[in-house]
Amino acid sequence: MKSNNKNPEIKMTNVKKNATPTLEEIEARKIKLEAVGYPFNFNYVESAQLEISDKKLFEEYAKEQWLGLEAKKGGYLFDQKIVPDYGFKILEVEPENSIITEDTKITLIDNKLTVKEEISPLKYQISFDDIIGQENAKNKIKIIKEYMEKPELFGQWAPQNILFYGLPGTGKTMLAKALSNNLNIPLYLVKATSLIGDHVGDSARQIHDLYESASKNAPSLIFIDEIDAIALHRQYQSLRGDVSEIVNSFLTELDGINPNEGVVTIAATNNVGFLDAAVRSRFEEEIEFTLPTEKERKEILQKNIETMPIKININIDKVAKMSKNMSGRDIKQKILKTALHHAFSQEKTEINMKDIEYAFKQSKVKIKNEVKDMYE
């Protein structure tokens, strides 16, 4: 794919013209590019991320090959030399539709910035009232609220790192979202596995970028989900390969946070016993999330039923009893959702106990199969 390709879907830059603009043409003062990679994927071509070590040199190189081309915002320029067909998107051009000359300033946005954009804070619409039960956890995080409002007051007594642990689907992620929403502060919700890079140094840089961005946007909350995936106890590291680089960078960042800054890290795991001892010791508080009681299960059922798309005619007390040892997620996904789908598949206009019983039966089959898979 060369730059004279006329694919209407992609605004391509024009065919090469004279290096000196004619009277009707305007000279580009500056253009800003983003490296976007190849326009196609081949199995044997790694969709490599370009690393430009010398920006000045890149500018000279770029100018030399794109001299005389017309630059349009949203268009593309393709490298023809070292990495043929590697694409660059034109993010800005001044003035619009102008010609690249010897004097055009060509800048390339930092790839590191793209990484940072990926880990930008998010906003959620969850409130504390949406979380049924977990009163202990809700109480314990009150201190974070106080701290975020007046970080300078706390100094060395600041809450900094808090660990949520407990069975899957009990509301850990929900509580972190509600906290950030309630305080109206940015939340960096990061799945720990997304911090594992392909190359040495990738993880350290990502973790560093994450903390740098959180500090810049402080007060802010970092929520690292499934932390055991990266900060695995040494005893289990052989299962996952070497994660010491990640553990070390994580410790460096945790220790480097200034308590006056207002950055709190909450990490979540299903099992604290899997955690690296040094990482675990950095968390001043370990908060357990428990399975809902019968009364809480009833509340979870009621809350979810309110939002269902068809009528529901079931004995909630009975379903609350039947769902012993199930988490909030199980009740929602395995029981209510399956019952709803079953009712739909039978072309019914309401969900009744038959659908619920079907869902319980299905969930037992699923559990049995999961256990079987573990031993096969």
Ligand X SMILES: Nc1ncnc2c1ncn2[C@@H]1O[C@H](COP(=O)(O)OP(=O)(O)OP(=O)(O)O)[C@@H](O)[C@H]1O
Contact positions vs Mg ion (CB under 5 A):
172-173
Cβ atoms of 253 and 267 closer than 8 Å: no
Measured distance CA(66)–CA(14) in Å, rounded: 10
171 interacts with ligand X by CB under 6 A: yes
- Full DSSP string of 244-287: HHHHHHHHHHHHH--TTS-EEEEEEES-GGGB-HHHHHH-SEEE
134 interacts with ligand X by CB under 6 A: yes
Q: In terms of residues, how long is the chain?
A: 376
Q: Write the binding mask 280 to 319 for ligand X: x where contact by CB under 6 A, - elsewhere.
A: ---------x----------x-------------------
187 interacts with ligand X by CB under 6 A: no
Please count the CA atoms within 13 angstroms of the CA of 310 that sit on its side-chain side. 18
155 φ, ψ (degrees, to nearest 5): 50, -130
Nearest to 194 by CA among 164, 219, 229, 218: 229
Q: Which does 134 bind (CB under 5 to 8 A by kind): ligand X, Mg ion, none?
A: ligand X
Interacting residues with ligand X between 252 and 271 (CB under 6 A): 268, 270
Q: How far is the CB of 336 from ligand X (least distance, A)?
A: 10
169 interacts with ligand X by CB under 6 A: yes
335 interacts with ligand X by CB under 6 A: no
Q: How far is the CB of 306 from ligand X (least distance, A)?
A: 12
133 interacts with ligand X by CB under 6 A: yes
* Residue closest to ligand X, measured at CB: 328
Q: Which does 171 bind (CB under 5 to 8 A by kind): Mg ion, ligand X, none?
A: ligand X
161 interacts with ligand X by CB under 6 A: no
Q: Which does 62 bind (CB under 5 to 8 A by kind): ligand X, Mg ion, none?
A: none
Q: How far is the CB of 130 from ligand X (least distance, A)?
A: 6
Nearest to 145 by CA among 189, 214, 153: 153
**Contacting residue, 71, 119, 132, 351, with ligand X by CB under 6 A:** 132
Strand partners, 164: 268, 287
Q: Where are the beta strands (DSSP E) in the chain?
A: 30-37, 70-71, 76-78, 87-94, 98-99, 105-108, 161-166, 187-191, 220-225, 263-269, 285-289, 311-313, 350-352
Nearest CB to ligand X, comparing residues 89 and 280: 280
172 interacts with ligand X by CB under 6 A: yes
**Contacting residue, 328, 342, 355, 356, with ligand X by CB under 6 A:** 328
Q: Which does 298 bind (CB under 5 to 8 A by kind): ligand X, Mg ion, none?
A: none
225 φ, ψ (degrees, to nearest 5): -85, 150
Strand partners, 275: 232
Q: Which does 300 bind (CB under 5 to 8 A by kind): Mg ion, ligand X, none?
A: ligand X
Nearest CB to ligand X, comparing residues 133 and 151: 133
Nearest CB to Mg ion, comparing residues 173 and 220: 173
HEC secondary structure over 102-150: CCCEEEECCHHHHHHHHCCCECCCCCHHHCCCCHHHHHHCHHHHHHHHC
| Residues that bind ligand X in the complex, under the rule CB under 6 A | 131-134, 168-174, 225, 268, 270, 289, 300, 327-329, 332
